[in-house]
Chain A
């Protein structure tokens, strides 16, 4: 039996935490992800099936919804499903079982890395990082944008708490950009 130690996207054994001023950037490794794209003319059926998985109505444009299993809008008739890794390691298979042939599902768990930003001045940091008007984002809103030339998802949890998803292979660059923005803004 191999005895391999899991490491985070930034290479540590523990999630990296950076604090500047009142803003904390936390690496969040323990999430499973799967993307769902409804097949042509099957979007209504796919939404219905996904709603059973998340226990919430499937989000419209620029929204996210769900609690333990969460769905966020990524494009027309496309969503990302997010769930705790410990209980949903096979999230893509669970999602596929749920949607059947109404949608195509791709495993995304190790394609993305998540950073949570928390603190009163988070909007000031995001202003430097991306083109979105984050001060106008409401809790439950999401958008895809470019951060440091990387295509990232921004999820607004509250006015002072945001989650960012960026490409895992560029986790170090993304963290560098976030921390540089924190140091500049705060």
Chain B
């Protein structure tokens, strides 16, 4: 499997480490009134789709950047690769 790194081009998947669902970027506000409920959801509840899935990969054997990879869990086809920091900033995070 090849992951098309946005900066470095096509790289073998053996250079990468998988973390999990890209929704992990959206860490809840710990000071919110419903923080306990939100963290329960954040930590334990995941969708398990047979199809398109956005997930976090770490380029450990490369430039050590985090990526958001859109992968089809049925066919393993990768349709999109973004820098996780760009995704996070677009969501208003990592200020």
Contacts and interface: CB of A to CB of B under 8 A. Distances in A.
Interface of A: 40, 61-62, 74-76, 131, 143-146, 151
Interface of B: 7-8, 12, 14-15, 60-65, 83, 85, 94-95
A142 B64 CA distance: 14
Contacts of A131: 12, 14-15, 61
Contacts, number: 34
Interface of A is mostly: strand
Nearest to B5: A61
19 contacts: A61-B7, A61-B8, A62-B7, A62-B8, A75-B63, A75-B65, A76-B7, A76-B63, A76-B83, A76-B85, A131-B12, A131-B61, A143-B8, A143-B62, A144-B62, A144-B64, A145-B15, A145-B61, A146-B61
Contacts of A144: 61-64
Contact of A145 (B62, B65, B94): B62
B95 A74 contact: no
B86 to A, nearest CB: 10
